[in-house]
Amino acid sequence: VNQILLLLLVLTVCAILYNKVHQVPSALKNETVDLESPDEMEEEIPVVICAAAGRMGAAVAAINSIYSNTEANVLFYIVGLKTTIPHIRKWIENSKLKEIKFKVVEFNPMVLRGKIRQDASRPELLQPLNFVRFYLPLLTQKHEKVIYLDDDIIVQGDIQELYYTKLAPGHAAAFSDDCDLPSTHEMVRSVGMQNTYMGFLDYRKQAIRDLGISPSTCSFNPGVIVANMTEWKHQRITKQLEKWMQRNVEENLYSSTLGGGVATSPMLIVFHRKYSTINPMWHVRHLGWSPDTRYSEHFLQEAKLLHWNGRYKPWDYPSVHPDLWENWFIPDPSGKFKLTRPDS
């Protein structure tokens, strides 16, 4: 009996020693307390916005409004020309925006050679950065879904809501339909804005008539885009847009004397009946079309995104609802960009 008890004691001691020697340190264990699973990782929301010379204050205000109204993991792609990049980088790094996640991307205007027809009536529409939206897959290569925003916008809602806009199968992008918001119809009529294809394409040209698109078809605004990069690349959207740009150079199919200039028209052709729609409150536009026509304050407070498309920008004078824009403006540390106000 004593021998058996002694044997059991020895086996117990050996078992205790074995467990101590082979015990796995807690730091190496697969414990969810310390390690974040892939399902729990926050999705990155890429937002593309341009920083053009003379308009950098617009990009800064737009970025600030997005950053201040969301807890989402936003990555800003700030696109500029070689000469403007140092300015926008310094502006961000020397302001409250130094906390944002961003990449500065240089856009090479050489990709537009032979694709833009010179038009003196509105030369600002021919600036290279107006065409950045055509080349989204080249700028944001690792993302499946991307938001593109014009610089003359203010976001009052949570950008996550816009990001989760559903795109129908086979659609490479979502836009705001120009006939979608009854609250804007009276403004459209009062200032003579165009909201059909007739206002953008020259239906006297055979190439336009051959498209078979009714001139009364409602247009859309590409100042706010939610894009699916897989579909964009699969459908070769960039190549299609470039084809129509080159045809316009040769045949003058559209021009800036019409409603939307030279960047909207090829998109209207390529995406005809092939796009999903964005919630109208996520693109309340036309704030820059007239210095006199105003929306109601209640309507503007409900809007998720405001767009000063048109000639009258909120950093210039005259303009409408400049206070809503100036709330998000961050002064230029270098002093180069200044607001134009009645008493300035």
Question: For residue 153, what is the enclosing H or E element?
Answer: strand 153-155
Closest alpha carbon to 79 in 48, 113, 45, 47: 48
Q: Please, which residues bridge with residue 103 across strands?
A: 77
The two tokens of residue 258 are 């019409």
In the predicted structure, residue 22 carries a pLDDT above the cut 90: no
Residue pair 212/256 in contact by the 8 Å Cβ criterion? no
Gap between the Cα atoms of 149 and 135, Å rounded: 13
**pLDDT greater than 50 at residue 26:** no
- pLDDT surpassing 60 at residue 85: yes
Residues 6+ apart with CB under 8 A from 6: none
Average pLDDT of 213-234?
A: 96
Encode pLDDT of 143-180 as tens digits: 999 999 999 999 999 999 999 999 999 999 999 998 86
Alpha carbon 90 to chain centroid, angstroms: 22
Task: Give the residue carrying structure tokens 């205000």.
Answer: 61
Where residue 185 falls among pLDDT bands split at 50, 70, 90? low
List pLDDT tens digits, range 305-340. Answer: 999 998 899 999 999 999 999 999 999 999 999 999
Given a cut of 90, whether residue 74 has pLDDT beyond it is yes
Return the pLDDT at 251: 93
| pLDDT tens digits along 228-261 | 999 999 999 999 999 999 999 999 998 655 555 6
Strands 44-50 and 276-277: unpaired
DSSP, collapsed to helix, strand or coil, labels residue 306 as strand
Give the model's confidence band at 2: pLDDT under 50 very low, under 70 low, under 90 confident, else very high: low
State the Cα–Cα distance between residues 321 and 109, nearest whole angstrom. 33
Q: Which residue has the tokens 């038009």?
A: 119
Question: If you count them, how many residues does the chain have?
Answer: 344
CA angle centred on 312, ends 306 and 315, rounded to 5°: 75
Domains of the chain from N-terminus onward:
45-176+219-249+269-327 (3.90.550.10)
pLDDT single digits (tens) 272-290: 999 999 999 999 988 998 8
Q: In whole angstroms, what is the distance from residue 285 CA to residue 87 CA?
A: 28
